[in-house]
Amino acid sequence: MTDRLEPLLREAAARIGTESSCSVILRLDGTLSRVASSDERAAACDDAEVAERAGPCVLALDQLSGVLVPDAADERRWPGWVQAVQEVGFRSGAALPAYVGGGVAVALNLYSDRLDPWDADALVTGDRYAQEVAEIIRARGLG
């Protein structure tokens, strides 16, 4: 699956702009796993979130709505995720979920070196990519 998702995430990061990186977390039967990333920095942040089962992506999956973190330095809810974000030099994050089906969902996570970088157009573009990721996973027979 990563053979299709990783190029898509690199494309998404380039189209969203604002020095963005992207990663995807899958929730399947209550289990979280990072399935693809545009780069190693985004992967490290999502791996921390999966390990702690806490972060903007987990919240986005729980509520099936987007979560924005304009300034990671001000975030107090997810210390493990914040530490990972700061260690790799990101300053902002966002999580955009998409429902796959049958209790399966994904979240496209955006990371940026800038503070509060995503305008409405960038978030709409990100949501389109989240839906495309969900379709790829659905086509693989999940959900």
- 143, part of any domain: no
pLDDT at 3: 79
Question: What distance in Å separates the CA atoms of residue 38 and residue 33, rounded to the nearest whole number?
Answer: 15
Question: What distance in Å separates the CA atoms of residue 4 and residue 80, rounded to the nearest whole number?
Answer: 29
3-state secondary structure of 50: helix
pLDDT tens-digit series, residues 17-64: 878 999 999 999 999 999 999 999 999 999 999 999 999 999 999 999
pLDDT tens-digit series, residues 78-125: 999 999 999 999 999 999 999 999 989 999 999 999 999 999 999 999
- 74, part of any domain: yes
Mean pLDDT on 57-78: 97
Put simply, whether the predicted model's pTM sits higher than 0.85 gets the answer yes
- 87, part of any domain: yes
pLDDT at 2: 65
Question: Which residue range is the domain that position 112 belongs to?
Answer: 2-138
Q: Residue 134: give its domain's CATH number.
A: 3.30.450.40
Q: Give the count of domains, the chain.
A: 1
